[in-house]
Every structure is written in structure tokens, then in C-alpha cells.
Amino acid sequence: MRLKPAQAAQLVRLSAGESIRKSQLPKALLHPLQQAGVVRLEKSGAGYLVRGIPGRVASFVEHHWGVRDVNRFAESTPDNRSRESMADIAGDSKALPNRPLEGIFLRSTGQCYLRDQTLAVTPPGSAIFLSPGELPHLHIQTPLLIGVENPACFLRFEKCYPYFSGLSGMPYSLALRWCWSLPWQQWLRKWQGVCLYFPDYDPAGLRIFATEVLTHQPTARLLLPIGLESLLLERGSRDLFLKQEHLLQNLPDHPDISVVVEILLRTRKALEQEVLL
């Protein structure tokens, strides 16, 4: 049996000498503990409690599951663990699934710095990857930071540029939305510039903006193309809109969201941002 963090949390309690109702422990967890003699059963009403024997549970966990630090294992989440930490905690970098390439992809126009070193300019088709540990040292000095929904438009943003006349002459940096983990969310909350979000112009895109962007940067705005309604009428998808229409419910009161919702409802179509390429 592969140990899970929730099960490890139960083992932490048992290791401290606490008791847990027998019915709350999975059989695959309880049986090896009983066979090793590191817990004991105590009668409690019509059922039984399982009480851990201090000093013995943790040693058994390391021997049986290879977990050297059951407390840290129990506290591991997708946002705070890595293959390196799993190798240290459990002796196996794959003991728990980890997100690949945790961090963000950034395109710099020459005003982004890591510590005191410039990230220079990333040409079309390329990007810089920043791991979570480096994000506290990232300094973006452009007045605009644009979060982009999909990789194609992120890497070829220059081709979409004609649709956004309001950006003319304004320095900006680009960040790919994919895998915006806790360290990036923390960085975004502290950033003092203007955050724009380049979404898919469909109900799902608005939902992502509301839940993944506004939650961490309440002053963020949507990047809206010139002639969005015409684009939807000419090149939008009715099927995509109908499939996602239910996501328009309970969106927050935000001026840009309201504008797009009205246009979507009028046209009854939706548009993915790759169309702008």
C-alpha cells in the first residue's frame, strides 16, 4: 500500500499515543500496525479504539513505508512538496505525485530581474522558466504584467498585439497561467503594477479569471480585443458557448466580466484566444 498524507496524519496521532476509532482506520493501514504490535485495541462502548504506542509507531512507519519523517509527510501538499523533498522525507522522489515543472514561464521585454541580474529579452517562441524558490527574487519593473491563458498565444503574443491598441508603446511582461502555484500567488499579491489577464473569451475563461486571478490580484483587469463582438459573430463557436453557459452563474461583480458576459449572451458564441493568432 502506498501511504497517503491523510493516512500519515492518522499515524502522527497514533505516534503521539492518541487513539482513533477502529472504524476510521483503513484495513490496509491497521493490519500492518497490528501485526507489528505498535498499536493496541481498547474497548469503547460497542466498538474499539486503536491507540498507538509512543516511540514504536514512527519507527515502524520508517521501516514499513520508508517514510523518515511522518509529520512532514502528512503536511505535504501539491503546493509545498517537490521530488527533492520527497526524497528527503520518504527516500523516494515519487512517493507522492508532483506537478511537473512547478513554477512559472515568463517572457521578459528587458525590465525583469532575478536578484540583480537582468533576464534580458525573450524573443518570440521562447520563455524563461522560474522555479518556486526563485520567485521571491523576481523583480518586474514594467508597468504592465499580462497573464496569458494558453501557451500558443504566450509564445506568439506579438501576433495578437494588433488586437490590443491600448497597449501601444507600453512596456509589459508576460506570464503563462499554467501551474500558478502558491509561491506565484504570493508573489502576485505583493506586486504593485497593473495586472492584465488575456483569457479565452468564453465562460470558462471568465471563471478562471474570477477564481485564479482576481482572488490574488483584486485590481486585475481583462485584456479585451478590439471588436470582440464582431470576432465572436464571425469566428466564435456556438457549441462551445452552450457547453459552458452554466459557468456564467455566480460570477463576481467586475466591470470587465460584465462587459464580456453581455457580449457572450448577445452573440451566443464563445471564442478561444488562439483564434487571434
CA 219 vs. chain centroid, Å, equals 20
- CA dihedral (98, 99, 102, 107) in degrees, to 10, reads 170
Question: pLDDT tens-digit profile of 160-210?
Answer: 989 998 888 889 999 997 566 788 888 888 889 999 999 999 999 999 999
Domain 5-90 class in CATH: mainly alpha
Best CA proximity match to 200, nearest among 162, 171, 165, 228: 228
Return the H-helix or E-strand segment holding 131: none
Helix crossing, 255-267 with 228-235: angle to 10°? 30
CATH 3.40.50.720 fits 104-276, yes or no: no
Q: What is the pLDDT of residue 233?
A: 96
Q: What is the pLDDT of residue 173?
A: 94
For the chain, residues classed under CATH 3.40.1360.10 are: 104-276
DSSP 8-state symbol, 122: P
Question: pLDDT tens-digit profile of 39-83?
Answer: 999 988 888 999 999 889 989 999 998 898 999 988 887 767 777
Return the H-helix or E-strand segment holding 146: strand 144-148
CA distance 122 to 124: 7
Q: Kindly indicate the confidence band of residue 101, based on its pLDDT and cuts at 50, 70 and 90.
A: low
Best CA proximity match to 129, nearest among 93, 181, 79, 88: 181
Cα angle value 101/222/247 (rounded, 5°):
80
Question: pLDDT tens-digit profile of 215-266?
Answer: 889 999 999 999 999 999 999 999 999 999 999 998 999 999 999 999 999 9
pTM here? Answer: 0.68
Report the percentage of the chain scoring pLDDT > 70: 97
For the chain, residues classed under CATH 1.10.10 are: 5-90
- CA dist 211 to 102, 207, 216, 217, Å? 20, 6, 9, 10
Return the H-helix or E-strand segment holding 206: helix 203-208
Q: Tell me the DSSP string of the chain.
A: ----HHHHHHHHHHHTT-EEEGGGS-HHHHHHHHHHT-EEEEEETTEEEEEE-TTTHHHHHHHHH--S-HHHHHT--TTT--HHHHHHHHS-TTSS---TT-SEEEE-BS-EEETTEE--BPPTT--EEE-GGGGGGEEE-SSEEEEESSHHHHHTHHHHGGG-GGGTT--EEEEE-TT--HHHHHHHHH--SEEEEE--BSHHHHHHIIIIITTT-TT-EE---TTHHHHHHHH-BHHHHHHHGGGGTT----HHHHHHHHHHHHHT-BB-GGGG-
